[in-house]
């Protein structure tokens, strides 16, 4: 469309490139052939990708099989453009997951972050982020969707704003400008982390009715580990502690490094 705004055009291009990368890697095909249920999550699922080049998938198998997970990811790693791949073993935590985080980049192109979280069917987070994304999409209309895309487009890349903060500010706070978003964030901090706001995007933030997850201990409120988006009584979360004990790199470091790499490549 010739009359598309810059943010609409960037969003369309980002979404199209993300789909192309996912298809080229055959992420869904590799995992489905291994018997997994494969779901896109995050901005890739909601069609709200703009500047942050992230492709996120959650995959589910009846049993959390390490050998199967490594076989599938070994097949994906044959791509000449998947330049790095990091593994975090969260199988012994309540999250029951195996995390795979990679950087996909063509020569001379911008890097894309690929996140694949392998979970056990029926575990704590089974379907949680998918349901959130679908509820969000049902609530968005053309106007609010366009506002979110524009705010993401206008946000400087070095200003870290969680996706859920855009959604809450626009849908709950009626925010329409970047300065308004900044003021709204200052007045409505994510006290429990991103997951606190993900529970029910169609309800006011203070309405906690019929929310089975996450459970809050009234004596010691749970908090969210911002690097892994998991609920924990202490920071870093068990997933990061497990990564450290397994002599792998903590995901909080990997996430920050990946985004720094993406920003550096975009400015070069």
pLDDT in tens, 160-213: 899 999 999 999 999 999 999 999 999 988 765 454 445 444 443 333 332 232
Q: Residue 97: CB partners within 8 Å, gap ≥ 6?
A: 64, 90, 91, 117, 118, 119, 120, 123, 125, 239
Residue 191 pLDDT: 62
Contact criterion met (CB below 8 Å) for 77 and 92: no
Task: Return d(Cα 203, Cα 71) in angstroms, integer.
Answer: 42
Residue 223 pLDDT: 43
Structure tokens at 48: 């709200």
Helix axes 163-171 and 142-154, enclosed angle (nearest 10): 130
In DSSP notation, 198-233 reads: HS-TTS-TT--TT--SS---SSS--EEETTTTEEES
Report, as ranges of residue numbers, the positions in the chain whose pLDDT lies below 50: 1, 193, 195-197, 199-235, 237-268
Per DSSP, 157 falls in state T
Contact criterion met (CB below 8 Å) for 90 and 96: yes
pLDDT in tens, 208-227: 332 232 332 333 333 444 44
Residue 2 pLDDT: 65
Task: Return d(Cα 105, Cα 170) in angstroms, integer.
Answer: 33
């Amino acid at each position: 469309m010739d009359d598309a705004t810059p943010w609409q055009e960037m969003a369309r291009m980002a979404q199209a490139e993300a789909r192309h990368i996912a298809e080229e890697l055959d992420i869904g095909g590799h995992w489905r052939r291994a018997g997994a249920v494969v779901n896109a999550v995050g901005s890739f699922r909601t069609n709200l990708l703009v500047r942050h080049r992230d492709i996120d998938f959650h995959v589910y198998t009846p049993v959390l099989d390490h050998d199967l997970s490594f076989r599938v990811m070994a097949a994906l790693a044959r791509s000449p453009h998947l330049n790095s791949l990091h593994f975090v073993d969260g199988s012994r935590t309540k999250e029951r997951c195996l995390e795979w985080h990679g950087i996909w980049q063509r020569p001379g192109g911008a890097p894309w972050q690929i996140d694949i979280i392998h979970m056990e069917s029926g575990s704590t987070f089974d379907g949680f982020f998918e349901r959130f994304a679908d509820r969000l999409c049902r609530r968005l209309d053309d106007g609010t969707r366009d506002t979110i895309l524009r705010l993401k487009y206008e946000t400087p890349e070095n200003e870290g704003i969680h996706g859920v903060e855009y959604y809450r500010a626009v849908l709950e706070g009626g925010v329409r400008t970047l300065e308004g978003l900044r003021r709204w964030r200052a007045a409505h901090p994510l006290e429990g982390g991103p997951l606190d706001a993900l529970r029910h995007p169609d309800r006011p933030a203070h309405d906690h009715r019929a929310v089975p997850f996450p459970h809050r201990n009234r004596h010691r409120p749970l908090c969210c580990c911002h690097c892994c988006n998991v609920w924990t009584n202490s920071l870093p979360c068990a997933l990061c502690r497990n990564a450290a004990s397994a002599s792998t790199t903590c995901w909080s470091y990997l996430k920050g490094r990946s985004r720094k790499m993406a920003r550096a490549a975009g400015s070069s």
